[in-house]
């Protein structure tokens, strides 16, 4: 997703993903080392080397994000902008101005950790509560949401082509 005034980088170990990214106008960055934390750190180091004023990380499991939702988020004022996952534990978007305002800390309970890092440094945080930014693919039922949501675009097309709506096991209620 390309936004005016922002350069989009795609970090991946998969050469075909990088080719698609380049074909869509993004800057491909071959992932030097897994896991996700290392890939994010790699991009952060590039941002620092380029002396960028701002740096945003949008996790790749957010298929409902639209350009409009992302534009609203990046135009939100503040040194740190967070979009929490719908369950309130994870962070789906972390925007920092400057890129070193707080360290990134993705994974379980990342939203809480990002808030704590900002509080420890006395850095103001703006929180974006937006359904498109909050939704992420974490559970089997999330696949059904994507299959049935037109905003999911290409992800929806792929899941439908794979007939994922019949492959996802039914949800089991707590008993």
Task: Give the start-to-end residue ranges of the domains of the chain.
Answer: 9-131, 139-175
Instruction: Fill in the DSSP letter of residue 30.
Output: E
pLDDT of residue 1: 60
Q: What is the pLDDT of residues 101-134, one digit of tens each?
A: 999 999 999 999 999 999 999 999 999 999 999 9
pTM of the model: 0.89
Can you give the C-alpha Rg of the chain in angstroms? 17
- Calculate the dihedral angle through the C-alpha atoms of 11, 16, 17, 18, rounding to the nearest 10 degrees: 40
Q: Give CA–CA dist 32/39, Å, rounded.
A: 7
CATH annotation of 9-131: 3.90.550.10
Q: What is the pLDDT of residues 34-68, one digit of tens each?
A: 888 899 999 999 999 999 999 999 999 999 999 89
What element of type H or E holds 158? helix 153-161
Among 127, 142, 138, CA closest to 95: 127
CB of 19 within 8 A of CB of 11? no
């Amino acid at each position: 997703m390309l936004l005016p005034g922002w350069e989009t980088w795609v970090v991946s170990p998969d050469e075909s993903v990088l080719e698609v990214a380049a074909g869509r106008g993004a800057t491909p960055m071959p992932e030097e080392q897994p896991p996700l934390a290392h890939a994010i750190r790699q991009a952060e180091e590039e941002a620092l080397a380029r002396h960028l004023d701002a740096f945003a990380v949008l996790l790749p499991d957010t298929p409902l994000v639209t350009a409009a939702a992302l534009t609203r988020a990046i135009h939100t004022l503040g040194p740190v902008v967070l979009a929490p996952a719908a369950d309130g534990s994870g962070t789906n978007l972390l925007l920092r101005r400057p890129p070193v305002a707080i360290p990134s800390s993705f994974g379980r309970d990342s939203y809480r950790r990002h808030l704590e890092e900002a509080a420890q440094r006395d850095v103001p945080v703006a929180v974006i509560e937006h359904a498109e930014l909050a939704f992420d693919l974490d559970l089997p039922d999330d696949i059904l949401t994507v299959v049935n949501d037109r905003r999911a675009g290409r992800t929806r097309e792929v899941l439908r082509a794979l007939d994922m709506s019949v492959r996802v096991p039914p949800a089991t209620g707590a008993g």
